[in-house]
Amino acid sequence: MTMAIDDMLRTYPADLGQVDRDRLRRCIEECAACAQACTACADSCLSEDRVTDLAKCVRTDLDCADICEATARVLSRHTGYDANVTRAQLMACATVCAACAEECERHASTHEHCRVCAESCRRCERACRELLDALG
Protein backbone atom coordinates (compact mmCIF):
# COMPACT_ATOMS: atom_id res chain seq x y z
CA MET A 1 0.00 0.00 0.00
CA THR A 2 2.90 2.35 0.73
CA MET A 3 3.87 2.44 -2.94
CA ALA A 4 0.37 3.45 -4.05
CA ILE A 5 0.15 6.16 -1.38
CA ASP A 6 3.59 7.48 -2.31
CA ASP A 7 2.70 7.42 -6.01
CA MET A 8 -0.55 9.32 -5.45
CA LEU A 9 1.15 11.95 -3.27
CA ARG A 10 3.96 12.32 -5.81
CA THR A 11 1.61 12.68 -8.77
CA TYR A 12 -0.77 15.18 -7.20
CA PRO A 13 -0.73 18.03 -9.74
CA ALA A 14 -0.79 20.93 -7.26
CA ASP A 15 1.58 21.87 -4.46
CA LEU A 16 0.95 20.04 -1.19
CA GLY A 17 2.50 22.90 0.75
CA GLN A 18 4.61 22.33 3.82
CA VAL A 19 3.02 19.03 4.86
CA ASP A 20 5.47 16.33 5.94
CA ARG A 21 4.84 13.74 3.22
CA ASP A 22 6.35 10.90 5.25
CA ARG A 23 4.05 11.56 8.19
CA LEU A 24 1.08 12.01 5.86
CA ARG A 25 1.80 8.74 4.06
CA ARG A 26 2.35 6.88 7.32
CA CYS A 27 -0.89 8.23 8.78
CA ILE A 28 -2.94 7.22 5.73
CA GLU A 29 -1.30 3.79 5.83
CA GLU A 30 -1.90 3.31 9.58
CA CYS A 31 -5.52 4.45 9.28
CA ALA A 32 -6.19 1.90 6.54
CA ALA A 33 -4.43 -0.87 8.47
CA CYS A 34 -6.27 -0.02 11.67
CA ALA A 35 -9.65 -0.02 9.91
CA GLN A 36 -8.92 -3.51 8.62
CA ALA A 37 -7.70 -4.77 12.01
CA CYS A 38 -10.75 -3.36 13.80
CA THR A 39 -13.16 -4.84 11.27
CA ALA A 40 -11.47 -8.24 11.58
CA CYS A 41 -11.39 -8.00 15.38
CA ALA A 42 -15.11 -7.20 15.55
CA ASP A 43 -15.85 -10.18 13.33
CA SER A 44 -13.60 -12.40 15.45
CA CYS A 45 -15.34 -11.22 18.62
CA LEU A 46 -18.66 -12.24 17.09
CA SER A 47 -17.29 -15.77 16.63
CA GLU A 48 -16.22 -16.16 20.25
CA ASP A 49 -18.23 -18.38 22.62
CA ARG A 50 -18.99 -15.57 25.07
CA VAL A 51 -19.85 -12.93 22.49
CA THR A 52 -22.08 -10.99 24.90
CA ASP A 53 -18.98 -10.28 27.03
CA LEU A 54 -17.45 -8.64 23.95
CA ALA A 55 -20.35 -6.42 22.89
CA LYS A 56 -18.55 -3.20 23.84
CA CYS A 57 -15.42 -4.39 22.06
CA VAL A 58 -17.40 -5.06 18.87
CA ARG A 59 -19.02 -1.63 19.03
CA THR A 60 -15.71 0.13 19.69
CA ASP A 61 -13.99 -1.82 16.91
CA LEU A 62 -16.65 -0.83 14.39
CA ASP A 63 -16.63 2.82 15.44
CA CYS A 64 -12.85 2.88 15.15
CA ALA A 65 -12.90 1.21 11.74
CA ASP A 66 -15.40 3.76 10.41
CA ILE A 67 -13.46 6.76 11.71
CA CYS A 68 -10.11 5.40 10.50
CA GLU A 69 -11.53 4.83 7.01
CA ALA A 70 -12.95 8.35 6.94
CA THR A 71 -9.65 9.79 8.16
CA ALA A 72 -7.68 8.01 5.43
CA ARG A 73 -10.09 9.44 2.84
CA VAL A 74 -9.90 12.98 4.25
CA LEU A 75 -6.10 12.81 4.28
CA SER A 76 -6.09 11.60 0.68
CA ARG A 77 -7.94 14.68 -0.59
CA HIS A 78 -5.93 17.85 -1.07
CA THR A 79 -7.98 20.09 -3.34
CA GLY A 80 -9.62 22.85 -1.31
CA TYR A 81 -7.70 21.72 1.78
CA ASP A 82 -9.11 22.95 5.11
CA ALA A 83 -6.59 22.60 7.95
CA ASN A 84 -9.29 22.88 10.62
CA VAL A 85 -11.23 19.95 9.19
CA THR A 86 -8.07 17.87 8.91
CA ARG A 87 -7.04 18.65 12.50
CA ALA A 88 -10.52 17.79 13.82
CA GLN A 89 -10.55 14.50 11.90
CA LEU A 90 -7.08 13.58 13.15
CA MET A 91 -8.06 14.37 16.75
CA ALA A 92 -11.22 12.26 16.41
CA CYS A 93 -9.22 9.39 14.96
CA ALA A 94 -6.56 9.52 17.69
CA THR A 95 -9.30 9.60 20.34
CA VAL A 96 -11.23 6.63 18.99
CA CYS A 97 -8.02 4.66 18.43
CA ALA A 98 -7.04 5.21 22.07
CA ALA A 99 -10.49 4.11 23.26
CA CYS A 100 -10.47 1.03 21.04
CA ALA A 101 -6.95 0.09 22.12
CA GLU A 102 -7.98 0.35 25.77
CA GLU A 103 -11.03 -1.85 25.21
CA CYS A 104 -9.10 -4.44 23.21
CA GLU A 105 -6.27 -4.47 25.75
CA ARG A 106 -8.81 -5.60 28.37
CA HIS A 107 -9.39 -8.76 26.33
CA ALA A 108 -5.88 -9.22 24.91
CA SER A 109 -4.78 -11.91 27.35
CA THR A 110 -7.77 -14.05 26.35
CA HIS A 111 -8.22 -13.16 22.68
CA GLU A 112 -5.20 -12.82 20.41
CA HIS A 113 -7.21 -10.86 17.83
CA CYS A 114 -7.83 -8.18 20.47
CA ARG A 115 -4.09 -7.95 21.18
CA VAL A 116 -3.32 -7.50 17.49
CA CYS A 117 -6.08 -4.92 17.13
CA ALA A 118 -4.92 -2.95 20.17
CA GLU A 119 -1.40 -2.76 18.72
CA SER A 120 -2.74 -1.49 15.40
CA CYS A 121 -4.88 1.10 17.19
CA ARG A 122 -1.88 2.37 19.15
CA ARG A 123 0.19 2.70 15.96
CA CYS A 124 -2.62 4.64 14.28
CA GLU A 125 -3.11 6.86 17.31
CA ARG A 126 0.62 7.71 17.27
CA ALA A 127 0.59 8.40 13.52
CA CYS A 128 -2.39 10.75 13.89
CA ARG A 129 -0.79 12.63 16.77
CA GLU A 130 2.53 12.91 14.92
CA LEU A 131 0.81 14.32 11.83
CA LEU A 132 -1.16 16.72 14.03
CA ASP A 133 2.10 17.92 15.59
CA ALA A 134 3.60 18.43 12.13
CA LEU A 135 0.57 20.45 10.99
CA GLY A 136 1.08 22.85 13.90
In a domain, 3, yes or no: no
The per-residue pLDDT for 20 is 79
Total domains in the fold of the chain: 1
The per-residue pLDDT for 3 is 65
The per-residue pLDDT for 9 is 66
The per-residue pLDDT for 2 is 60
In a domain, 7, yes or no: no
pLDDT tens for each residue of 50-79: 999 999 999 999 999 999 999 999 998 877
CATH number, domain containing residue 77: 1.20.1270.360
Instruction: Report CA Rg, the chain.
Output: 16
- Using alpha carbons, list the distances in angstroms from residue 12 to 21, 77, 79: 12, 10, 10
The per-residue pLDDT for 11 is 61
Residue ranges of the chain with per-residue pLDDT less than 70: 1-3, 6, 8-17
Structural domain harbouring 90? 21-135
